[in-house]
Structures are given as C-alpha cells and as structure tokens.
Amino acid sequence: MIGFTNWCHYGLGITIDQLVDILQFHLQTKLSAGGLIAAWQRLAKILTPWYEQIAEEARKSAYLHADETGWRLHGRTCWLWCCANGQVCYYLIDHCRGSPVLQRFFGEAFDGILLHDFWTAYESLDVADRQYCLVHLLRELEKVDQQRAARPHADHAE
C-alpha cells in the first residue's frame, strides 16, 4: 500500500490529504498525513541502496541515452533527468538544467558512448564518444534546408 500511495502522490500528483481520504474511505485504513509521510521516509531508506546501485550500473554502461524534461515539484519547475539503455534506467530530479547536474552524476568522465540531443549541458561532459539523437539531428537539418530555401539564390555565372 505504501508503494501505491507513493506512486499516487509523486507520480500522479494526488495530494496527501486526498490520499488519506482515499485510504480511509475506500480501503478502510486509518492513517494520518504524518503517518503516511513517515512510511514514505522508511521506504526511501529501504530503496536508497537500490537506487544508488542503478546509478552505478548506468555510469559503468557502454552507452547511455540521456535526456531531461521539465518537472513540477512543490509548484516549482525542476528538471527530470534520465539516463537509460536496454538494461538500466536512472532518473534524477534537480532544480538545475545545466551541466553541474551531469557532472555530479558522471563525475570526471563517462567511459562510454553518450547519446543526446543538442542541449549544451551535454557538451561539457568528457565522454569516450557521443552520438546525437537522430530525430534531433533531422530537425536541425530541416532548419538548414528551410534557411537555405528562404535565401535568394545568387547567380553562379562565371
């Protein structure tokens, strides 16, 4: 039940008061807001070593896809960072969208191939190799084509 309430609150945005009401009415479970938060804190302690193991596996991967997206936390915009491949998926929420987040996660260098978009924060990383996201690359090429088509053509007479 604690995992369910955690998902409802952090994943779906259901308020703590709403969760307490749901637990009391639908599940006939007496639990205060403070009791629910204490249960989540115990769950966090249990899951922290597993979360850190996932991070370590990601940092040791041969390749990782990296991306970030806006994420609301307590009414403020934060950033949800994701580093993933076929075996591991690591999420990190931070108030910063810049390179310090990546440098804290990766440390001095990433000894694999980092696949990412054109966000400049990724360029600050020391990586063995990098690959730009194909979809983003195609969008950039379309922009080049549009700019080229908009320019008047000069005569190339010699």
**pLDDT tens sequence across 62-116:** 999 999 999 988 889 999 999 999 999 999 999 999 999 999 999 989 999 999 9
Q: Give strand pairing partners of 148.
A: none
pLDDT greater than 60 at residue 29: yes
**CA–CA separation, 75 and 98 (whole Å):** 20
The predicted pLDDT at position 156 comes to 56
- pLDDT of amino acid 143: 92
pLDDT at 155 over 60: no
Residue 135 clears pLDDT 80, i.e. is over it: yes
Is 120 in contact with 102 (CB distance < 8 Å)?
no
% of the chain exceeding 90 in pLDDT = 77
Q: Judge whether 94 and 102 are in contact, CB under 8 Å.
A: no
Ramachandran angles phi, psi of 90, nearest 5° = -120, 130
C-alpha span between 151 and 43 (Å, rounded): 60
Lookup: tokens for 88: 């591991």
